[in-house]
Structure 1
Amino acid sequence: MVRQRGVTLIELMIGIALLAILALAIFPLGRAWVANAQITKTEKEFLEAYSRAKNEALRNPNAVKEDDVAATLKVNNTDKKIEVINSKNVVIWEAVISPLITVTLSTGCTTGHQQLTLNNNGYLRTDSCTLYNIAASGGGNNASGTL
């Protein structure tokens, strides 16, 4: 009696179908994981930008008076940038954010642009401009906080 080894075409098709079903089940989990990683990275960069803007405002190298803008943190969702700008309107630090990420500031921050302005004491010039929200279009858990 001759014994044949190997798999039949039907067994192979069933194995491929099972692998495809597993791959389809795992794909959304992977996409959410990537989105969460991008949200976390963007939140760290946003908080770093806020820290640098506050530091620039406190140093006040251009001798800005208390009621004037000593530093600005600007969020540009179109160009996907977060920028820190000094009182002479020069970008002193910037970070590029993922195309899937959107950073939203409080409604008090949206006077033409989404930006935070700080005086020479490092305080936000608008009291209603303290909240931020970071979201990804590919899913994931949004990050939000208060400055």
Structure 2
Amino acid sequence: MVRQRGVTLIELMIAIALLAILALAIFPLGRAWVANAQITKTEKLFLEAYARAKNEALRNPNAVKGNTKAASLEITSNKVHVKDSDDVNIWSVDIAPTVTVTLSTPCSQEVIFNNNAHNITTGCELYTITASGGSNATGNL
């Protein structure tokens, strides 16, 4: 009697079906992982921009005095900008198109610093970073 080796077509189809079910179960976890990674990266970039804006305000190269704008941090749809007192862009960074950065309601997406690097935008203390499928990041400025 000769023994045959290998797998039958039915065994192969069952194995492929099981792999497909596992892949479908894992896909949402992968999407959430990517979204959370984008949120984390965006938060780091946003906080770096915040620190740069405060540093620019302390440097105060335009010799702004009093409680007026020495530097600002502005958020647009896909960028974070650091600007000096003349609204000249001195640093900017792209953020992922799937990520949204929002500030407290009164801020209108801009934080303004005086020459002591004090936030003079009233009511602008909170930020939220969101991405579809991820866990939101929130924090205080």
Query: Could you tell me the TM-score, scaled by structure 2's length?
Result: 0.97
Corresponding residue number in structure 1 for 2:119 = 124
Corresponding residue number in structure 1 for 2:129 = 134
Matches within 5 A, 1:65-84: 65-77=65-77, 80-84=78-82
State whether residues 107 and 122 of structure 2, in contact with CA within 8 Å, keep that contact through their aligned partners in structure 1: no
**Helix, strand or coil at the partner of 2:35:** helix
Corresponding residue number in structure 1 for 2:60 = 60
Structure 2, gaps ≥5 residues long: none
Distance in 1, matches of 2:39 and 2:76, equals 16
Distance in 1, matches of 2:65 and 2:45, equals 28
Corresponding residue number in structure 1 for 2:9 = 9
**Helix, strand or coil at the partner of 1:135:** strand
Q: How many residues align?
A: 141
State whether residues 57 and 71 of structure 2, in contact with CA within 8 Å, keep that contact through their aligned partners in structure 1: yes
Q: Percent identity?
A: 69
Query: Could you tell me the TM-score, scaled by structure 1's length?
Result: 0.93
Q: Provide runs of 4+ in structure 1 moved above 3 Å.
A: none
Q: How far is 1:59 from its partner? A: 1.0
AA of the residue aligned to 1:140? G
Q: How far is 1:123 from its partner? A: 0.7
Q: How far is 1:11 from its partner? A: 0.4
Q: How far is 1:67 from its partner? A: 2.2
Corresponding residue number in structure 1 for 2:98 = 100
AA of the residue aligned to 1:124? N
Structure 1, gaps ≥5 residues long: none
**Among residues 69, 85, 89, which one is paired with 2:83 in the alignment?**
85
Q: How far is 1:131 from its partner? A: 0.4
Distance in 1, matches of 2:66 and 2:58, equals 11
Q: 1:20 and 2:20 equivalent?
A: yes
AA of the residue aligned to 2:92? E
